[in-house]
Amino acid sequence: MAVLRRIALVVTVVLTAAVTTAPPAGAYPLPGRVTGDISVHDPSAVKRPGGGYLVAHTGHGVALKTSTDRIAFRNAGSAFPGGASWTTPYTGGDRNLWAPDLTYRDGRYWLYYSASTFGSNRSAIFLATSPSGDSGTWTHRGLVVESRTSDDFNAIDPDLVVDDQGRWWLSFGSFWSGIKMVALNPSTGLRSDSVVRPLAGRNGGPIEAPTIVKRGAHYYLFVSFDYCCRGASSTYRVMVGRSSSVTGPYVDRNGTALTSGGGTEILAGQGSVHGPGHQDVFGDVDSDVLVYHHYTDSGASRLGINLLAFDSAGWPYLR
């Protein structure tokens, strides 16, 4: 019996370690099973209050997809099927609107999205809201923040976070001097002051696509390092830092500030999964969930979904 008790104890310890300890660096799980219409770029997802899921991603008029089970996805049209003429000064007439951020709060859906052209920081982030999230039900609410060629930041890749005090913040940024944050008015969802706050940077190197969530005592800032949009040659990878304050400073596991190039890697390309990134995080009944895009060997972009856990030191990892 003593031997059996020792074996049971060992098994218990091993199972506990599996739950609380991240896998070795570079050993990442493959994307979870998804089916149907899974060709996406820059996805953002929410759990719908009536059940199922809504995904917004880069595409004509902000593309939409839905799922009942987080596995099978179908095309659900676009937020602006008639176009978004107010974005033309930033897009040059291209109907593609980029990198949306989707949130459900206060009984409606909030959609922040980007208007720009590739490689330019003459860019803008706009807001729309909808009671249902369905195609054609979105109301244009206005310009939130813009950047000009004289600015040292790029106003794309928005992400809304509401802190413990109920204050609204929008993080954003791509290349240039890195990731920034502005304060929002919770009543309108639009900008409330003129301050641009730095969150992360790589001395002009490739960093973009911020996502901030609060878990436990910390706010976690997820970003994408390196290069997107090169098909199977993409080098995107997902990094994270944390802070006790929503405005930072954010540091990685080694204590290096994200404003000084720091970041702890939690996902990178492996095998036939290339350039995973432009991540979003949302809470579900079974786990926190990381959604992102990645590329196949043929260069096609695909939806990636993994469950997100936290180790015994409070750092996130995928499972």
| 45-87 pLDDT per residue, tens | 999 999 999 999 999 999 999 999 999 999 999 999 999 999 9
* pLDDT of residue 9 exceeding 80: no
Q: Is the pLDDT of residue 283 over 80?
A: yes
For the chain, percent of residues with pLDDT exceeding 70: 92
What torsion do the CA atoms of 105, 106, 109, 111 make, to the nearest 10 degrees?
A: -70
Q: What is the pLDDT of residue 262?
A: 98
**Above 90 in pLDDT, residue 1?**
no
**What pLDDT shows up at residue 157?**
98
Per-residue pLDDT averaged across 84-97, rounded?
Answer: 94
Catalytic residue numbers?
Answer: 42, 208
Least confident of 8-22, 31-45, 148-162, 268-282: 8-22
SS3 track for 223-250: EEECCCCCHHHCCCEEEEEEECCCCCCC
Q: What is the pLDDT of residues 177-196, one digit of tens each?
A: 999 999 999 999 999 999 99
Q: What is the pLDDT of residue 24?
A: 60
Mark the binding-site residues for substrate, compressed into ranges: 42, 119, 154-157, 174-176
The band of 15, judged by pLDDT with boundaries at 50, 70 and 90, is very low
Asked whether 61 and 79 are in contact (CB, 8 A), the reply is yes
Give the pLDDT confidence score for residue 19 in this predicted structure.
39
Alpha-carbon distance 236 to 255, whole Å?
23
**What are the structural domains of the chain?**
28-318 (2.115.10.20)
**Which residues are known binding-site members?**
42, 119, 154-157, 174-176
Residue 23 confidence class, pLDDT cut points 50, 70, 90: low
CA 8 vs CA 3, 78, 201: distances in Å = 9, 54, 48
Averaged pLDDT score across all residues of the chain: 92
- pLDDT of 11 > 90? The answer is no
* pLDDT at 232 exceeding the cut of 70: yes
Which pTM value belongs to this model?
0.91
CB-CB contact of 260 with 254 (8 Å): no
> What's the Cα-to-Cα distance from 283 to each of 250, 267, 277, rounded to whole Å?
22, 19, 18
State the pLDDT at residue 272.
96
Residue 8 has pLDDT above 80, yes or no: no
Given the DSSP bridges, would you call strands 274-283 and 264-267 parallel, antiparallel or unpaired? unpaired
Question: What is the distance between the alpha carbons of residues 288 and 241, in angstroms, rounded to a whole number?
Answer: 17
Residue 89 has pLDDT above 90, yes or no: yes
24 DSSP assignment: P
Long-range CB pairs of 186-192, under 8 A, 24+ apart, other chains included: 186/162, 188/141, 188/142, 189/110, 189/127, 189/129, 189/141, 189/144, 189/160, 190/127, 190/141, 190/142, 190/143, 190/144, 191/144, 191/145, 192/168
pLDDT of 5: 37
Peptide bond into 249 cis (omega under 30): yes
User: Can you tell me the distance from the alpha carbon of 109 to that of 189, in angstroms, rounded to the nearest whole number?
Assistant: 11
At residue 204, the pLDDT reads 87
